[in-house]
Structure 1
Amino acid sequence: MAAPPYRSDCSGLVRICLLLGALWKIRAEQISYSVPEELEKGSFVGNIAKDLGLEPRELAERGVRIVSRGRTQLFALNLGRGSLVTAGRLDREELCDRSPKCVVSLEILLEDKVKIFGVEVEIIDVNDNAPNFGTEQREIKVAESENPGTRFPLPEAFDPDVGVNSLQGYQLSSNVHFSLDVQSGADGIKYPELVLERALDREEEAVHHLVLTAFDGGDVVHSGTTRIHVTLVDTNDNAPVFTQPEYHVSVRENLPVGSRLLTIKATDPDEGANGEVTYSFRKVRDKISQLFQLNSVTGDITILGDLDYEDSGFYEIDVEAHDGPGLRARSKVLVTVLDVNDNAPEVMVTSLTSSIQETSSPGTVIALFNVHDGDSGENGLVTCSIPNNLPFTLEKTYGNYYRLLTHKTLDREEVSEYNITVTATDHGTPPLSTDTHISLQVADINDNPPAFPHASYSAYIPENNPRGASILSLSAQDPDSIENARVTYSLAEDTLQGEPLSSYVSINSDTGVLYALRSFDYEQVRDLQLLVTASDSGDPPLSSNVSLSLFVLDQNDNAPEILYPALPTDDSTGVELAPRSAEPGYLVTKVVAVDRDSGQNAWLSYRLLKASEPGLFSVGLHTGEVRTARALQDRDALKQSLVVAVQDHGQPPLSATVTLTVAVADSIPEVLADLGSFKPSANPDDSGLTLYLVVAVAAVSCVFLAFVIVLLAFRLRRWHRSRLSKEEREDI
């Protein structure tokens, strides 16, 4: 039955340990030291390397430095020893006045981790000041009629030290008529009073000389003295009385110099000189005398210097009123300075990156800065902001430190440089703000391949071009910069008609200009399909491809070729037959020619260039058909010679000629008989001639049939190639 309570106690202990661990983590970034004031420059304050968990040599390597703001740098880092040392003489009274505890705060920046550690150094008071009365002597006028037991205020000493080192008590030199009584006020201040012990007799002794000594409680006691001259006068039995024991006033820190703060008033019912009241400050300190002025007659307190809430928000002024004989009254003026929003926020950049790669992940730290406003309350609360259209965000870290971070991945091709304005605005009325400008360069990486403006290209080059002729220029754009944007061009390896493409064309790797390496012949190569690669110079390099269709344009470089009639190969002359009875328009023969060019360079026309009998025959302009132009007559020779010219339509046109021999006869035997007369044979033989004629007629028929077949095949081939070329152009 004891197990459940045991488990409960264990769980409670675990929670306490977790809480202590969390508290330790919170305090882990706060380091505290204490050091006495008045140490020499360079004196040891604390082992900062040990408290940061570092070795002394790591302080410089990891960029450890002090980033505290302030008018004077009080501490410094000894990087060799890893210690925090004083940067000059420390005066606690100057730093903290009479505050019970004097703590100086600073921040230590760990640069490589962008981390801030708070350091508090308590300045311990030493007894380096003696009590001071502010005056070497004081005259007190006492009526001789004063009764024993009457008290007279004595001047008070001031010691700027605190604690036991401050003022502890007073001593009065020995005198049978007077003694010293020290009163302690509610505020803990000791007020010395002179007590009359026995009746006075002005005629016996008109002036009494006393020495008042004030001492502190330090290990080595310091003291200060003032002389008190007690002058006996006639009776003045009423001391001045202030209308208020304390005067309270609140004033804004921007009150103009010379303005009246308030008027103190004391009354004395005595008459004459005994009732004339004058006013003065008691225990006047330099700061009070520099800021306030008291009119000794009217009691008006005016502003003598500029008030600054950030310097001090509260002043306690001791005043006194005294009548003619010297009776005095004390009072206090408590001045509360009200804060005015007169300080704009201050932004101090402690760490800054001026360049960042465009692929840096979101959350990359760009800058670390501290925001401070010298005002208090709402006037000292500061809010930082940046424009909403930027890919950055602000994150508040330790104290008033902010980090500027990337909010998303940057793209240098969209924006290569950012000018970031950080606006720090306080909550005062009206609010004050400060703009801090941060410039950030976005470093390029090779994340964009070169890009061609078009998906494919077509180019044309006339055949018979000169070697090295420029065909076209290709250009690819890369939005990256420097080496990442430097583009080079190359051709993909391929073959054409068994030869590498690199033997036909080449491309300039820097300019992208395509050159012809040989003179093209349309009749051999009509088009080339190329693949051009554009590569940048990044690491690793990126590339892209584009297809290029190069078309060879036909030139009129081929003359017409006559297929029929074919030139004899045995030195014989071909003969065409025309019966004497042929009517006009009779088809005698047909000249057949082709041109290896294309287009209008291959369009042929026929004309009769020369004839032995003009007007007897005609030639079809486009068909090449040789027909009789009129009826044959007896007077016409049996042998007619015709020269037919075939010409293309190129620029300039090219042509070819053929000579035709036409035999005119009504019958074949007649023709055969006449043929012997056309070209006598070396050994005439009628049977041989007949055989020759038969063979010639058969050969003509076969050639004509072959011509028709070849012509049809050429027409079909040209039609098929023109259709393929048209489809390729449409695809491009």
Structure 2
Amino acid sequence: LLGRTKVLISVEDVNDNRPEVTITSLFSPVLENTLPGTVIAFLNVHDRDSGKNGQVVCYTRDNLPFQLEKSIDNYYRLVIWEYLDREKISMYNITVMASDLGTPPLSTEIHIAVHVADTNDNPPIFPHASYSADIPENNPRGASIFSVTAHDPDSGNNAQVTYSLTKDTIMATPLSSYVSINSDTGVLYALRSFDYEQIQDLQLLVTASDSGDPPLSSNVSLSLFILDQNDNVPEILYPMLPTDGSTGVELAPRSAEPGYLVTKVVAVDRDSGQNAWLSYRLLKASDPGLFTVGLHTGEVRTARALLDRDALKQSLVVAVQDHGQPPLSATVTLTVAVASSIPEVLADLGSIRTPTSSDDSDLTLYLVVAVAVVSCIFLAFVIVLLALRLWRWHKSSLLQASGVGLAGLPASGFVGMEGVQAFLKTYSHEVSLTSDSRGSHVIFPHPNYADTLISQESCEKKDSLLTSRDFHECRDEAASVQVSSVLCLRLFLRGIIFFIHLSCVLKHAL
């Protein structure tokens, strides 16, 4: 026992163990709108060595928007240091270094993958601020006319874009009746054939919207310009064709010098640009060397002096043509009357104008028939009136002859021969008929109807036995009959003269 000895051996620790890093929790993916300071991971660090060899320090190597913060004991937490943007970096590979304080130091590194989740923070974006396109008129219905595309940098539903047109009207018509757009592809289609003469341009506003919650959208303007096509024939404004089918007549005196302006053809074209540029040329003429037509003015002038041998009637055919592709043209026929004086021209207009239908002769026939019918009716009325007057006079004569009721007869309404003559004189008149340049003057002299009345002597000779009152009644009755006859005859003549005058005036006006 006395020979045993205790020996204490001290083992000195050497730094032969690397730190160990364990991820206790990780929150991934991380929304890009997560606030700075939010913890996304917890780490536990352990080193089996002792002393300084067991003391561990953790840090991140790269300059990332994340930071390691020491918690309690050997725990660290990984927090967001800056705002994240998935559209820039959608995934981060974070390298965490753990190193002890031994000599030499030992270290360990781990990699943490953090995915950034998308939020709908970007609206759809068009590559250009505005668009424009040209569309030829008379386009087929349903044809594709343009296409727009918008890009959304988000992902998933947040990047799904749909297209639409803002509601608007064009010429009081909804825009949707002119153009439509495919909501998925952004292709625009024409729903009708455009006419440049009605619509020259369309101003549209295209909206692109994503499917996020809430959805975001953006707009872009689109100008559609309708291009003119040569689809309108030149329209001749002057000379206008008469409605009766004949051609207009232009006057040219025989004394006209070369270059005399006879007339001017005026035409317009509803197209635009070179499709509306017009040129004039003489297509056909009865005397080709007599007249010329201005190429751009349409002025018809004499090419030489007019001669006596030149025909009175000159016919010209002028063509008006545009400069479109293919060119369109119209023609007009001119009739030029050549004469030494205007009266000579007017005298020969009947041979220049184109014969028309027989409407005038038919109208004259209708007027004559109407006058004849009215005259017959009026004559019949007069005959009936005379018959009634004669019947009353005959009845009165019979009563006077029989001597019955003479004392009770009323006195005549007339006041004697002087009153009758004064009454008749008021109907004396003059009638003047004038129609056109052919005038007629018909005068009715002032007649003296006193000779036609029954004189006092004849009445006395007829019946000497009549008393003074009977004589006056006989004379007044006879005067009444005569006056009625004269008045009827004069009314008849005035009716005939009125209708003849009316027919002449209407014929001259037509």
Give TM-score scaled by structure 1 length: 0.48
**1:432 Cα shift?**
2.1
Matches within 5 A, 1:240-639: 329-639=3-313
Q: AA paired with 1:437?
A: H
- Paired letter, 1:642: L
Contact 1:561–1:656 at 8 Å: present in 2 too?
A: yes
Q: Residue 483 and residue 680 in structure 1: after superposition, are their counterparts in 2 closer, same or farther (change >3 A)?
A: closer
- Name the amino acid aligned to 2:128: H
**Deviation of the 1:356 alpha carbon:** 1.2
1:48-127, aligned counterparts within 5 Å? none
Q: How far apart are residue 388 of structure 1 and its match? A: 4.5
CA contact (8 A) 2:14 2:49 kept: yes
Number of equivalent positions: 362
| 1-structure distance, mates of 2:436, 2:342 | 15
User: 2:386 aligns to what?
Assistant: none
- Of 368-377 and 611-620, deviating more is 368-377
Matched letter for residue 623 of structure 1:
T
Counterpart CA distance in 2 for 1:579 and 1:614 is: 18
CA contact (8 A) 1:345 1:382 kept: yes
Structure 2 Cα separation of the partners of residues 652 and 668 of structure 1: 44
1:689–1:454 Cα change, 3 Å: farther
Query: 1:244-278 deviations in whole A, cap 9, x for unaligned?
Result: xxxxxxxxxxxxxxxxxxxxxxxxxxxxxxxxxxx
User: Structure with the greater relative contact order (CA < 8 A, sep ≥ 6): 1 or 2?
Assistant: 2
Could you tell me how far 1:352 is from its partner in structure 2? Answer: 1.6
Three-state SS of the structure 2 residue aligned to 1:676 is: helix
Aligned to 1:647: 321
Mapped contact 1:583–1:631 kept (Cα < 8 A): yes
| Aligned partner of residue 331 in structure 2, secondary structure | strand
- Matched-pair contact (CA < 8 Å) for 2:234–2:329: yes
Give, in angstroms, the shift of residue 340 of structure 1. 2.6
Deviation at residue 538 of structure 1 after TM alignment: 0.7
Report Cα offsets for 1:278-330 as digits up to 9, x if no partner.
Answer: xxxxxxxxxxxxxxxxxxxxxxxxxxxxxxxxxxxxxxxxxxxxxxxxxxx44
Residues 629-708 of structure 1 aligned to structure 2 (within 5 Å): 629-679=303-353
- Aligned residues of 1:392 and 1:404 also touching (Cα < 8 A): yes
Q: Which residue of 2 aligns with 1:235?
A: none
In structure 2, the CA distance between the partners of 1:672 and 1:381, relative to structure 1 (3 Å rule), is: same
Query: Structure 1 counterpart of 2:339, which letter?
Result: A
User: Aligned with 1:571: secondary structure?
Assistant: coil
* Cα deviation digits, residues 449-487 of structure 1 (max 9, x gap): 111122222222111111111111111111110100000
378-387 or 411-420, larger mean C-alpha shift: 378-387
Secondary structure of residue in 2 paired with 1:601: helix
- CA deviation after TM superposition for structure 1 residue 563, in Å: 0.2
Q: Provide the C-alpha distance between the structure 2 equivalents of 1:478 and 1:347, rounded to a whole number of angstroms.
A: 40
Shift of 1:679: 3.4
Query: Taking every aligned residue pair, what percent have the same amino acid on both sides?
Result: 77
User: Which deviates the most, 531-540 or 368-377?
Assistant: 368-377
Structure 2 counterpart of 1:598, one-letter code: S
Whole-angstrom distance in 2 between the partners of 1:638 and 1:423: 118
For structure 1, which segment, 335-344 or 623-632, has the greater mean C-alpha deviation from structure 2 after superposition? 335-344
- Structure 1 residue 342: deviation in Å? 2.1
Residue identity in the other structure for 2:246: S
Please tell me whether the aligned partners of residues 582 and 632 of structure 1 are also in contact (alpha carbons under 8 angstroms).
yes
Tell me, in whole angstroms, the C-alpha distance in 2 between the residues paired with 1:662 and 1:417: 93
Name the SS for the 1:670 alignment partner: helix
The one-letter code of the counterpart of 1:538 is G
CA distance in 2 between partners of 1:429 and 1:607 (Å): 111
- The one-letter code matched in structure 1 to 2:31 is Q
Q: How far 1:371 sits from its partner (Å)?
A: 0.9
Shift of residue 433, structure 1, vs aligned partner: 1.7
Q: 1:346 to 1:581 in 2, by over 3 A?
A: same
Query: Which letter maps to 1:675?
Result: L
Letter of the 1:434 counterpart: T
d(CA) in 2 for partners of 1:669, 1:689 = 14
- Structure-2 separation of matches of 1:343 and 1:689: 141
Shift of 1:332: 4.3
Q: Which runs of 5+ in 2 are unaligned?
A: 362-434, 439-510
Q: TM-score, normalised by structure 2?
A: 0.68
Alpha-carbon distance between aligned partners in 1 of 2:28 and 2:10, rounded to the nearest angstrom: 47
Task: Provide closer, same or farther for how the CA distance between residues 680 and 531 of structure 1 changes in structure 2, counting only shifts above 3 A.
Answer: closer
- The 1:429/1:689 distance shift into structure 2, 3 A limit, reads farther
User: For the Cα contact (< 8 Å) 1:484–1:538, is it kept in 2?
Assistant: yes
4+ residue segments displaced more than 4 Å: 680-684, 687-690
Structure 1 contact 350–368 (Cα < 8 Å) conserved: yes
Offset, 1:568: 0.9
The answer (yes or no) to whether the contact 2:337–2:352 under 8 Å persists in 1 is no
Contact residue 169 and residue 175 of structure 2 kept, 8 A: yes
Distance 2:223 2:353 in 1: 58
Q: Distance in 2 between matches of 1:528 and 1:424?
A: 68
CA distance in structure 1 between the partners assigned to 2:186 and 2:152 by the alignment: 14
Deviation (angstroms), 1:670: 1.3
CA contact (8 A) 1:534 1:545 kept: yes
**What residue is the counterpart of 2:484 in the other structure?**
none
Offset at 1:567? 0.9
Secondary structure (helix, strand or coil) at the match of 1:412 reads: coil
Secondary structure of the equivalent of 1:337?
coil
Unaligned ranges ≥5, structure 1: 1-152, 154-192, 194-328, 691-732
Contact 1:535 1:542 in 2 (8 A): yes
Provide the secondary structure at the position in 2 that maps to 1:335.
coil
- The alpha-carbon distance between structure 1 residues 689 and 344, as it changes in their structure 2 partners (threshold 3 A), is farther
Q: Distance in 2 between matches of 1:689 and 1:458?
A: 70
* Alpha-carbon offset, residue 680 of structure 1: 7.2
Contact 1:672-1:689 at 8 Å conserved across structures: no
Distance 1:689 1:668 in 2: 17
Deviation at 1:560, TM superposition (A): 0.3
CA distance in 2, matches of 1:689, 1:607: 42
Give the structure with the higher percent strand: 1
Which of the pair is proportionally richer in helix? Answer: 2
Report deviation, 1:339.
2.8
Question: What does residue range 142-157 of structure 1 map to in structure 2 within 5 Å?
Answer: 153=1
Equivalent position amino acid for 2:351 in 1: S
Q: Tell me how far apart the structure 2 counterparts of residues 518 and 679 of structure 1 sit (CA, whole Å).
A: 48
Q: CA RMSD in A?
A: 2.0
